[in-house]
Amino acid sequence: MQYKIATLALGTALALATTTGAHAGNATPNDIRIGAYFVHFDTSATAFTGPYIVPGLSTSVKNTTTLYLGYVRTLSRHFAVELAFGWPPVTHAVARGPAAVGSVPYNGQEIATVRWLSPTALLEYNFFGPTAHWRPFVGVGVNYTYFYDRSVTAAGAAVSGGPTSISMPSSVGPAVTAGFTYRINQRWHVVASYSVAQVNTRLTTDTAGVFRSSSVHFWPNAVVLSVGYSFGL
Amino acid sequence: MLKKFGGLTVAVLATLALAGCGGNSQSAAVSTSTQPGTLAVNPPLRVASLSASAFAANLDATTSGQQLLQLAGTPACGVDFYYLKYWTVAPDGKPTEVSGALMVPTGAGSQCSGARPIVLYAHGTTTASNYNIADISDPSNAANSESAMIAAVFAAQGYIVVAPNYEGYDISNLGYHPYVDGAVNAEDMIDALTAARAALPHTFTPGTTDSGQLYVTGYSEGGYVAMATVKAMQAAGETVTASAPSSGPYALEAFGDAIFFGQVDIGSTVFAPLVTTSYQNAYGNVYSQTTDVYSSTYATGINTLLPTTTPLATLFQSGKLPEAALFDSTTPVTGNTQLDQLLAEPTSPPYTPEQAALFDAGFGSPGLVTNTFRAAYAADALTNPDQAMMTLLNGGTLTASDVALAASPSVGLRQDFKVNDMRNGGWMPKEPMLMCGGDQDPTVFFMNTQIMAAEWSPLVAGGLVSVLDLNGTPGGPFAPLQSAFQGTYAAMVSAEGASTAIQSYHATEAPFCMVAARDFFAQVP
């Protein structure tokens, strides 16, 4: 539902953007970018609930850096859409809570790893004219995150009580960005931006048929540094 | 333009779909077999893992834990607590899923790893339907103290412990508990053992293995279950290295007769619905309707009352069960002088004033059991006598020649007691057995132990079967335990008064009997 609303909103905005100005006259409306994603997670997770569990067991996620790939299509003088995604990084979940559960070490232990496929679609407004060297921009959009290769470490299995599988439903949430483009020439430019997305999931573990779960808000906020190349099609 | 953008979206979605094939770590396997002894989930969940020092520290944090530490000794090993789910057989012969505990000693010491002996433990009577002896992590679970006791006494000293929760408890959806149904209880124990053996190679310490030595023990109801298990395993040709059933109602027929003759034990108003529900489900011969046995005040719903999530105190307060009044204080008068004397409230003499006071608490108005049923049962017990009961009533000494079961009881409940009485079947233990108890036990009378000892008197004489009376004059290998129990009980009497202390006599014996069992097992490698 949330996803549908976000898609609808983005679609409407796109329609508005394309009708309020034409890109006619821009010979290079396509822009591909490559760079680095420096992702910091402001994770907040509720304590795990479920059978055979002590209070206060939570998790956080380690920061990660990955390859940034982006495609930007100029829609008009000021509007563009960006489709951004990072090369699916392995994120490392770290235990937060008591030093030990029984005699099993907990706090600070790496308990699971997960890969993220996390594309974001953004509608961006660029200030100044297309020929300006410096163009600040702001954008809003929608992030979709799919979690896969979910794997529990030996330390995670030890604290869970046995071999454990994890389920993490995909997340759809709003994303915002702000940054600037520095145009070197008609073809080449560099971009720096800061983005925040809402990525929420309900993490559920299954150990011997015993389910425990925690609501996780990852709040990934990323600095992206990239190089872009513009071309016509 | 949008068409192209759409194309890119499709490409991203395709990437997503491919990514969806990414691996994911697996959880435990769930068995599709419902054969008895099948481990339902393998590996089982480890509920808790405690090092020797952490377990000691946990125990040291409470007064009861400190007493247990002192009695059981400082843990030599850590303990991993696993929650077993396995299949056994319901009284109707159908597969039924149940649960229990597997406790595995851990740690570097040679006593704590490698091939270790197994203690198969049967727990005592409980009304708590959520009883889960694996759940050491939840102090609010009714099983918590018993779980800690067997962990401290056995697992922390290097024994692998297997303990079923029984049918009717925890995950079991049977709806009642097959209480003192010997064959069913034994099957559950044996299935728990089979499941635990299947789980052992899949624990966090797969190097800790079954040495092949098997010790069977249990306390109270579990004493009975332990003995029934020894009987069943022997009959199946399986070896039990040694056993130590403790304070159990082995001689059910004689024990039942004693109660109906007015020797009402502490706990009888709980035991009665448990046993009638069990036998009614198994044999259908206890009553046509619950009012055949129970007074109208309590009869409605009593067949589904236990086990329950309602605390026992609440059941008493809300009038679902009387706290102690098993029988009506206006005792039945049948016109048969001998019978009426047996139905009258016991007095002192012949009983001691303490005994008479204890029995007196078992009478009130209204009693749980109707006078009609009580009179019919007692008449049967007089007409078709249990020889052991008659010997005791006449003040005689029990010998092998006068402990026979009733030849042909006519009341359904007595027939069921006879079927499940441990004298039934003319069997004898083939391997060493210690029967521990206390001769002043007001809950499960020591006569149960004495009758079995008389039944097996040649084995007692030969040393294969031994009896430990914690209340006896200290002597022999268990003298320190006898002195310790008597000292503990004397301290309770001086602190709480005799009439309060007696209420906990039966529970107080338990850890002493379990330590005795451990010492006994250590002598039978």
Q: The pTM is what?
A: 0.92
Q: Are residues B240 and B146 in the same domain?
A: yes
Q: Is residue B390 part of a domain?
A: yes
Given pLDDT bands bounded at 50, 70 and 90, which one contains residue A92? Answer: very high
Residue A146 at interface with chain B, using a CB cutoff of 8 Å: yes
What's the CA gap between B323 and B342, in Å, rounded?
23
Q: Is residue B416 part of a domain?
A: no
Q: Are residues B369 and B442 in the same domain?
A: no
Q: Collect all residues of chain B within an 8 Å Cβ-Cβ radius of residue A105.
A: none
Q: What is the CATH number of the domain that holds B439?
A: 3.40.50.1820
Boundary residue ending a domain (B401, B433, B468): B401
Question: Is the per-residue pLDDT at B6 higher than 50?
Answer: no
Q: Are residues B280 and B374 in the same domain?
A: yes
Q: Are residues B239 and B282 in the same domain?
A: no
Q: Is residue B231 part of a domain?
A: yes
Q: What is the CATH number of the domain that holds A153?
A: 2.40.160.20
What range does the domain containing A10 cover?
A: 2-231
Measure B73 CA to nearest chain A CA, in Å. Answer: 20
What does the pLDDT average to over B297-304? 98
What range does the domain containing B508 cover?
A: 29-250+422-522
What's the CA gap between A132 and A78, in Å, rounded?
12
Q: Is residue B476 part of a domain?
A: yes
Interchain contact, B48 vs A119, CB within 8 Å: no
Closest Cα to residue B171, out of B208, B134, B200, B197?
Answer: B134
Interchain contact, A150 vs B24, CB within 8 Å: yes
Q: Are residues B150 and B256 in the same domain?
A: no
Is residue B353 packed enough to be buried (19+ CB in 10 Å), middle (13-18) or exposed (0-12)? exposed
Q: Are residues B103 and B121 in the same domain?
A: yes
- The number of distinct structural domains making up chain A is 1
> Could you give the percent of chain B with pLDDT greater than 90?
92
Q: Is residue B9 part of a domain?
A: no
Closest Cα to residue B243, out of B219, B217, B223?
Answer: B217
Q: Are residues B385 and B273 in the same domain?
A: yes
Q: Is residue B127 part of a domain?
A: yes
Q: Are residues B174 and B200 in the same domain?
A: yes
pLDDT in tens, B203-262: 999 999 999 999 999 999 999 999 999 999 999 999 999 999 999 999 999 999 999 999
Interchain contact, B16 vs A52, CB within 8 Å: no
Instruction: Say how many C-beta atoms besides its own lie within 10 A of residue B108's C-beta.
Output: 10
Q: Are residues B90 and B231 in the same domain?
A: yes
- The number of distinct structural domains making up chain B is 2
Whole-complex ipTM: 0.87
Residue A119 at interface with chain B, using a CB cutoff of 8 Å: yes
The gap from C-alpha A208 to its chain's centroid, in whole angstroms, comes to: 32
Q: Are residues B384 and B299 in the same domain?
A: yes
Closest Cα to residue B160, out of B128, B192, B124?
Answer: B192
pLDDT in tens, A8-59: 444 444 444 444 444 445 778 999 999 999 999 999 999 999 999 999 999 9
Question: Is the per-residue pLDDT at B404 higher than 60?
Answer: yes
Q: Are residues B104 and B245 in the same domain?
A: yes
pLDDT in tens, B441-468: 999 999 999 999 999 999 999 999 999 9
Contact indicator for B395, B450 with CB cutoff of 8 Å: no
pLDDT of residue A71: 97
Q: Is residue B352 part of a domain?
A: yes
Interchain contact, A71 vs B138, CB within 8 Å: no
